[in-house]
Amino acid sequence: MISRIWRGWTTMEDADEYENLLREKIFPTIADRQVRGYKSIQLFRKNHGDEVEFITIMWFDSWESVKEFAGQNFKRSYVSAVERKILKRYDNRSQHYEVREQFQYSRAI
């Protein structure tokens, strides 16, 4: 399993708009591509006073799946023109990690 991690920051005033864009447009568009081996995406949000940080973590079965999604230059992040209008700054490169172990529990901890 491979995780693809990306971060972007926007203003407090634009944070809800950006989150809605991700939920309503960006994430469904990713799912509609039906990339083999693409498992899921997670969205994290953290307020830092005058700005809001967003982190996305995508999950893939393999490096081949990551490359099918992002192309041969898979480390490069893709940020749409609409996103660039809302974001103050963002990572130009996504980080990738091989998941070496994962524990899942069936009860609340």
**Domain membership flag for residue 108:** no
pLDDT at 106: 80
Residue 103 counted as domain residue: no
Torsional sign, CA 85, 69, 58, 5: negative
Does some domain include residue 90? yes
Residue 105 counted as domain residue = no
pLDDT digits (tens, 9 = 90+) for 41-99: 999 999 999 999 999 999 999 999 999 999 999 999 989 999 999 999 999 999 999 99
The reply to whether 51 falls in a domain is yes
Q: What is the pLDDT of residue 33?
A: 94
User: What's the total number of domains in the chain?
Assistant: 1
Range of the domain at 59: 2-98
Q: Is the dihedral of CA 74, 76, 81, 86 positive or negative?
A: positive
Owner of token pair 């700054």: 89
Question: What digits encode the pLDDT tens for the residues 4-54?
Answer: 999 999 999 999 999 999 999 999 999 999 999 999 999 999 999 999 999
- Say if residues 47 and 19 touch (Cβ distance below 8 Å): no
Q: What CATH number is given to the structural domain containing 79?
A: 3.30.70.100
> Which pTM value belongs to this model?
0.89
Would residue 47 count as lying in a domain?
A: yes
Residue 36, in any domain of the structure: yes
